[in-house]
Structure 1
Amino acid sequence: MKRTWRWFGPRDLVSIDDVAQAGAEGVVSALHHVPTGAVWTREEIRKRQAEVGRLRDGAPSGLAWDVVESLPVSEDIKKQSGDWRAHLDAYRESLENLAAAGIEVICYNFMPVLDWTRTDLAWRLPSGATCMRFDLTDFAAFDLHILCRPGAEEDYEPALREAAAERFAGMDDARREQLAKNVVFGLPGAAESFSLDDVREHLAEYAGMAAETLHTHLVDFLSEVAPTAERLGLRLCCHPDDPPVPLLGLPRVMSTEADYAAVMKAVDLPANGITLCSGSLGARPDNDLPGMMERLGDRVHFLHLRNVKRESADIRGSFHEAEHLTGDTDMVALVRAALQEEARRRAAGRADWSIPFRPDHGQDILDDLTRQAQPGYPSIGRLKGLAELRGIIAALEPGISA
């Protein structure tokens, strides 16, 4: 399992120097400044590779850009409207350029409008650490009383609507504004950012779209781009929905094992694969992460190892980002299943036997609390997670066989 680390580029407050010192062996990055739907040029790719490859003082970092996260799929492609065919051409050209640069693993997602959703970006834990959290009542308060989405009442049972109204009434203006910002929060350096009016406009464009339609659009997208990836020796890997339940009236199509199995069967190419994110999928109590790794492991091209603590037994409920070994996913069992998959691949002679993983998210601890880097991506919190994961791997690896 190759240790990688997500880096958001030169604006990231966690530097390449930090990444190298943390013990990562490779970097996960993206060209967030390039507008969605545009081509990633060879020049821009080479520039990012050079940034990854050097420390602040110009010395070699010993790191390379190993995984793309993400080469974004435009809303036009997801809706099959507007410039979606031109965006497909641009996507294929970007794949050609990434292959020419020697980058083989490309993560993407197919979530409409928002690619992840949290209500708190720095929720305080009893230890004094902070983490990201999804509070269902707060989210309902946002949806019903801040966004004022038409038809939102139908998505919440009466008790939750009543709790959301009470929660909203107890918020001051600053908390209401912060909640709205948290829900539509974007990535640093991203070419696009959303206002509430932007969100309303996008939601209106998806109005009435069933999950079956979005699934068909995902299969259509993969039918167009996966053959290119296969020819180039690339591995595409779809990230799950986060949270893995319908939100804001939007359909979700990559939330369960059945969702993944259907898409892998529909476009049955090795290049069409999975980003197995234990945090996103682990927010649902009916997702068995070690079992998914065992059953779908042949197509797992990238691993996000993080943990969440569910705050109820409901499919749709509140949760927060836990320490890597203390959430609801059995991380030891998941890592064991990943190591066993690697052993099977080695025995079969697969060149892609080593599965890249990254310590996904982390709690803000110690100096993270003053650095205030990208929410979910602190330096020391992830360093702690990586150290714990390395310990599991070191303990399990000698006893693993195909």
Structure 2
Amino acid sequence: MKQTWRWFGPSDLVSIDDICQAGAHGVVSALHHVPSGAVWTSDEIARRHAEIATMKDGAPSGLTWDVVESLPVSESIKRRVGPWRDHIEAYKQSLHNLADSGISIVCYNFMPVLDWTRTHLNWRLSNGATCMRFDLTDFVAFDLFILNRAGAENDYPAGIVAEAKNRFAEMTDKRRAELERTVAFGLPGSVENLSLDDLRALLETYAVIDADTLRANLVAFLEEVVPVAREVGIRMCCHPDDPPFALLGLPRIMSTEDDYAFIMRAIDIPENGITLCSGSLGVRPENDLPGMMRRWGDRVHFIHLRNTKRESEGLPCSFHEAEHLDGDTNMVDLIEEILREEARRKAAGRVDWNIPMRPDHGQDILDDLNRKGQPGYPAIGRLKGLAELRGVMMALSARFDLLGAQK
């Protein structure tokens, strides 16, 4: 696997210099300042390439921009309303411009309204480290008593509703405000401080869109853009839902292996692929990550290696971001399957045999606790995770004649 690192651009408190020192070989980035539905221009793309290629003192970093994460799919496209046709044309042009710059992998997601959802951004663990967490009771308390979503109580078991009522009654005003901000953090454009009314309005737009409709809209989107991606030499890969179960009455269509199987078969073109995120998919106990890699490895274009730990039974459930080798996913078995797929591709002469991966998320440890960087993306926590994953990769690579060939 090619070891990469997510970078949010010049404002990221983890610098290009830090990434070099972590030993990553490539960068995963995006033009977060460009609104959804707008074209990523060649000039903006070139600027990001230059930023990645340069250290603070002007020396070359040796890093390349290997994966776009994400080229966002606008809400208009997901719902096929408003300027959705213009947005699809802009998406196609962005693919052309990215390909012209040398990029060949584009990650995207099709999650409605919320890009991801947590209730805690810095939940304290027993060893003093912090991590992101989804607490189901807290989330239901938000849904019922902060958002006041109509009919929300019908979406949860009566026992959870009663627990949420008690939890909310015990919350301080400070915790209620923090919970509201944390959930809103997962909203596209949340840097613009979207309000509860904004969220309610967005949810209302999905009142007539069920999972079948949203899935049909995803297929229609891919029918338009995947042929363009194929033409220009880009492999597209869809990120799973995070978390992989329904929230706020919204449909979820990329949460299970069956969801991916449907999309891969609907658009049966190699460039229509998968971002295998072991953290998001691993929240569902029925998602067999090593098995998914065996069955669908041919279509896996990008890999997120992270681990989550379920705290309750059933779905939806509470969970938190675990250490990379210490969650519910057997990371050693998963990495072995990834390396087996790489060896198969290499033997077949595929140019994409070296699949990019990044150590996704991480716990805040040591100086991360003072740095206060992007939630979920600490410097030292990810460095620790990458070192652990790298050790597993090196130990297993000899079995597949891949030692020294991963850069």
Helix, strand or coil: the match of 2:185?
coil
Find the counterpart in structure 1 of residue 252 from structure 2: 252
Does the Cα contact within 8 Å between 1:278 and 1:307 map onto a contact in 2?
yes
Does the Cα contact within 8 Å between 1:32 and 1:191 map onto a contact in 2?
no
Does the Cα contact within 8 Å between 1:33 and 1:190 map onto a contact in 2?
no
Find the counterpart in structure 1 of residue 207 from structure 2: 207
Does the Cα contact within 8 Å between 2:107 and 2:236 map onto a contact in 1?
yes
- Cα RMSD for the two superposed structures: 1.3
Supply the distance in 1 between the matched residues of 2:237 and 2:116 (Cα, whole angstroms): 17
Supply the distance in 1 between the matched residues of 2:3 and 2:190 (Cα, whole angstroms): 25
Supply the distance in 1 between the matched residues of 2:315 and 2:396 (Cα, whole angstroms): 32
Q: Quote how far apart the aligned CAs of 1:208 are.
A: 3.0
Helix, strand or coil: the match of 2:108?
strand
Does the Cα contact within 8 Å between 2:8 and 2:29 map onto a contact in 1?
yes
Find the counterpart in structure 1 of residue 97 from structure 2: 97
Find the counterpart in structure 2 of residue 299 from structure 1: 299
Write the mapping of 1:223-242 to structure 2, written as runs, cut at 5 A. Answer: 223-242=223-242
Supply the distance in 1 between the matched residues of 2:205 and 2:234 (Cα, whole angstroms): 32
Supply the distance in 1 between the matched residues of 2:193 and 2:300 (Cα, whole angstroms): 30
Q: 1:192 to 1:301 in 2, by over 3 A?
A: farther
Segment drifting more, 205-214 vs 233-242: 205-214
Find the counterpart in structure 2 of residue 78 from structure 1: 78
Supply the distance in 2 between the matched residues of 1:44 and 1:333 (Cα, whole angstroms): 40
Gaps of 5+ in 2: 403-407
Supply the distance in 1 between the matched residues of 2:188 and 2:30 (Cα, whole angstroms): 11
Gaps of 5+ in 1: none
Helix, strand or coil: the match of 1:24?
coil
Segment drifting more, 178-187 vs 279-288: 178-187
Q: 1:157 to 1:190 in 2, by over 3 A?
A: closer
Q: Quote how far apart the aligned CAs of 1:186 are.
A: 4.6
Amino acid at match of 2:200: R
Find the counterpart in structure 2 of residue 146 from structure 1: 146
Supply the distance in 1 between the matched residues of 2:239 and 2:98 (Cα, whole angstroms): 19
Amino acid at match of 2:161: R
Supply the distance in 1 between the matched residues of 2:130 and 2:363 (Cα, whole angstroms): 6
Write the mapping of 1:236-385 to structure 2, written as runs, cut at 5 A. Answer: 236-385=236-385
Q: Quote how far apart the aligned CAs of 1:316 are.
A: 1.4
TM-score by length of 1: 0.98
Find the counterpart in structure 2 of residue 131 from structure 1: 131
Does the Cα contact within 8 Å between 2:7 and 2:27 map onto a contact in 1?
yes
Helix, strand or coil: the match of 1:270?
coil
Identity %: 67
Task: Please tell me whether residue 10 in structure 1 is matched to residue 10 in structure 2.
Answer: yes
Supply the distance in 2 between the matched residues of 1:401 and 1:265 (Cα, whole angstroms): 32
Q: 1:36 to 1:189 in 2, by over 3 A?
A: closer
Helix, strand or coil: the match of 2:250?
coil
Amino acid at match of 1:54: T
Does the Cα contact within 8 Å between 1:105 and 1:234 map onto a contact in 2?
yes
Supply the distance in 1 between the matched residues of 2:197 and 2:174 (Cα, whole angstroms): 19
Helix, strand or coil: the match of 2:103?
coil
Does the Cα contact within 8 Å between 1:119 and 1:133 map onto a contact in 2?
yes
Helix, strand or coil: the match of 2:122?
strand
Task: Please tell me whether residue 22 in structure 1 is matched to residue 22 in structure 2.
Answer: yes
Find the counterpart in structure 1 of residue 44 from structure 2: 44
Helix, strand or coil: the match of 1:184?
helix
Q: 1:187 to 1:201 in 2, by over 3 A?
A: closer
Helix, strand or coil: the match of 1:81?
coil
Q: Quote how far apart the aligned CAs of 1:191 are.
A: 6.8
Supply the distance in 2 between the matched residues of 1:282 and 1:142 (Cα, whole angstroms): 24
Can you list the C-alpha shifts for 1:113-154, whole angstroms capped at 9, x where unaligned?
011000000000000000000000000000000000111111
Can you list the C-alpha shifts for 1:175-201, whole angstroms capped at 9, x where unaligned?
101001001105999775522111111
Can you list the C-alpha shifts for 1:25-77, whole angstroms capped at 9, x where unaligned?
00000000001100000000000000000000110011011100000000000
Q: 1:189 to 1:148 in 2, by over 3 A?
A: closer
